[in-house]
């Protein structure tokens, strides 16, 4: 649902500053993002267009290319988003139950701990897959070639090389999840009391998701800027064989951004990030809560009438 926002953002970026071959950009659907490495040929982000702004781009893309173009680049996002989300939400629910039995049902630390650990786990599992997928996308490798490429990389740099760029992802996603789940559970309790509901309705979950997603997105934006910088630099060094600069630590990159653009440089892109993250978080959590409620009621009925 929020992919068109990023397609339009990418097309506007490519129009004002065309992407050369081998350069890369971050493509996001609000829930997660991945690196797209630019190639020759008529890729979706290189289609011609003279757009004056977001709304103009939205209308013109539909008129000239058809509505399907607003979902360009979605399949590779889904390939990563589905397993990431399955791991993330399943771990969150299971950890919450374990922590409730240990710390007590109403302990405020539960969403913080469960959210942080589940995000840490999903990022760690998916990080090498993201690296492999981007490499396949750029080099058009067969599975045999990919295996040879990865095994030679592991032989040279060790297994740890498959997790390059992991630290900056963790630095952004773990605090985001901790804040998101803490605020979400707080807003949900308050709103359930207000409307007199025992369990969250679709509206309660959606509103709580928007509020908690927006707060977490704004606070973690500096880490998002660092992650984007590190990921794009990493892939340009690997694909264009540009030697990586000395600036390797996350804090050094942050200082470099502040020196160049001031504190506001760390919060660049706050509006498009909010426009994507807030509805994405809201849609995700409300459909998840609704689905969980629907299936638990269905299971109760099935158990009552076997």
Same domain, 150 and 33: no
Residues 6+ apart with CB under 8 A from 19: 13, 25, 38, 45, 46
Q: Look at residue 169 and tell me if it is in a domain.
A: no
Same domain, 35 and 95: no
Same domain, 201 and 297: yes
The CA distance from 92 to 33, in Å, is 20
Q: pLDDT at position 81, please?
A: 81
Per-residue tokens: 123: 């990022």
Which residues form the domain of 82? Answer: 74-164
Q: Look at residue 235 and tell me if it is in a domain.
A: yes
Same domain, 86 and 35: no
Q: pLDDT at position 140, please?
A: 58
pLDDT exceeds 70 at position 52: yes
Q: What percent of the chain has pLDDT over 70?
A: 84
- CA torsion 163-168-171-177 (nearest 10°) is -70
Q: Look at residue 181 and tell me if it is in a domain.
A: yes
Domain boundary residue among 25, 52, 71?
A: 71
The pTM for the full model equals 0.79
Q: What percent of the chain has pLDDT over 90?
A: 23
Higher pLDDT, 219 or 245: 219
Same domain, 207 and 230: yes
Domain boundary residue among 100, 131, 164?
A: 164
Structure confidence by residue, pLDDT tens digits, 92-122: 999 999 999 988 887 889 999 999 999 999 9
Higher pLDDT, 61 or 6: 61
Same domain, 104 and 139: yes
Q: What is the pLDDT averaged over residues 155-184? A: 84
SS3 sequence, the chain? CCHHHHHHHHHHHHHHCCCCCCCEEEEECCCCEEEEECCCCCCHHHCCCCCCCHHHHHHHHHHHHCHHHHHCCHHHHHHHHHHHHHHHHHHHHHHHHHHHHHHCCCCCHHHHHHHHHHHHHHHHHHHHHHHHHHHHHHHCCCHHHHHHHHHHHHHHHCHHHHHCCHHHHHHHHHHHHHHHHHHHHHHHHHHHHHHCCCCCCHHHHHHHHHHHHHHHHHHCHHHHHHHHHHHHHHHHHHHCCCCCCCCCCHHHHHHHHHHHHCHHHHHCCHHHHHHHHHHHHHHHHHHHHHHHHHHHHHHHHHHHCC
Same domain, 139 and 240: no
CA 235 vs CA 19, 232, 285: distances in Å: 14, 5, 32
Q: Look at residue 91 and tell me if it is in a domain.
A: yes
Q: Which of 96, 130, 98, 101 is nearest to 116 (CA)?
A: 96
Q: Look at residue 198 and tell me if it is in a domain.
A: yes
Q: pLDDT at position 137, please?
A: 56
Mean pLDDT of the chain: 81
Domain boundary residue among 143, 164, 185?
A: 164
pLDDT band at 212 (very low <50, low <70, confident <90, very high): very high
pLDDT exceeds 70 at position 239: no
Same domain, 156 and 226: no
Q: Look at residue 287 and tell me if it is in a domain.
A: yes
Structure confidence by residue, pLDDT tens digits, 112-164: 999 999 999 998 988 887 777 666 655 556 667 667 777 877 777 777 777 87
Same domain, 265 and 221: yes
Same domain, 27 and 11: yes
Q: Look at residue 271 and tell me if it is in a domain.
A: yes
Higher pLDDT, 77 or 246: 77
Q: Look at residue 171 and tell me if it is in a domain.
A: no
Q: How far apart are the first and last CA of the chain?
A: 38
Specify the number of domains making up the chain: 3
Q: Which of 36-50, 72-86, 145-159, 247-261 has the highest mean pLDDT?
A: 72-86
Same domain, 97 and 58: no
Same domain, 94 and 17: no
Q: Which of 219, 166, 191, 206 is nearest to 288 (CA)?
A: 206
CA 197 vs CA 84, 193, 203, 204: distances in Å: 31, 7, 11, 9
């Amino acid at each position: 649902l929020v992919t068109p926002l990023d397609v339009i953002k990418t097309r506007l970026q490519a129009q004002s500053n065309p992407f050369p071959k081998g350069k890369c950009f971050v493509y996001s659907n609000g829930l997660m993002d991945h690196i797209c490495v630019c190639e020759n040929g008529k890729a979706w982000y290189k289609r011609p267009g003279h757009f004056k702004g977001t709304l103009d781009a939205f209308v013109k893309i539909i008129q000239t290319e058809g509505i399907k173009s607003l979902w360009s680049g979605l399949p590779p996002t889904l390939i990563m988003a589905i397993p990431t989300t399955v791991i993330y939400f399943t771990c969150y629910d299971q950890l919450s139950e374990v922590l409730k039995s240990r710390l007590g049902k109403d302990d405020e630390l539960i969403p913080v701990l469960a959210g942080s650990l589940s995000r840490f786990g999903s990022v760690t599992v998916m990080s090498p897959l993201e690296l492999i997928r981007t490499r396949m996308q750029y080099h058009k490798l067969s599975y045999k070639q990919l295996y040879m490429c990865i095994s030679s990389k592991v032989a040279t740099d060790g297994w740890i090389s498959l997790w390059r760029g992991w630290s900056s992802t963790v630095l952004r996603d773990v605090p985001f999840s901790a804040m998101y789940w803490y605020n979400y559970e707080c807003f949900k309790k308050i709103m359930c009391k207000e409307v007199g509901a025992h369990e969250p309705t679709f509206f309660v979950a959606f509103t709580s998701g928007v509020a908690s997603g927006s707060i977490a997105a704004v606070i973690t934006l500096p880490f998002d800027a660092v992650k984007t910088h590190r990921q794009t630099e990493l892939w340009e060094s690997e694909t264009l064989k540009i030697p990586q600069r000395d600036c390797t630590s996350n804090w050094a990159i942050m200082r470099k951004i502040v020196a160049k653009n001031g504190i506001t440089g760390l919060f660049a892109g706050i509006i498009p990030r909010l426009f994507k993250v807030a509805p994405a978080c809201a849609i995700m959590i409300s459909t998840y809560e609704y689905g969980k409620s629907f299936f638990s009621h269905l299971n109760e009925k099935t158990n009552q009438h076997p």
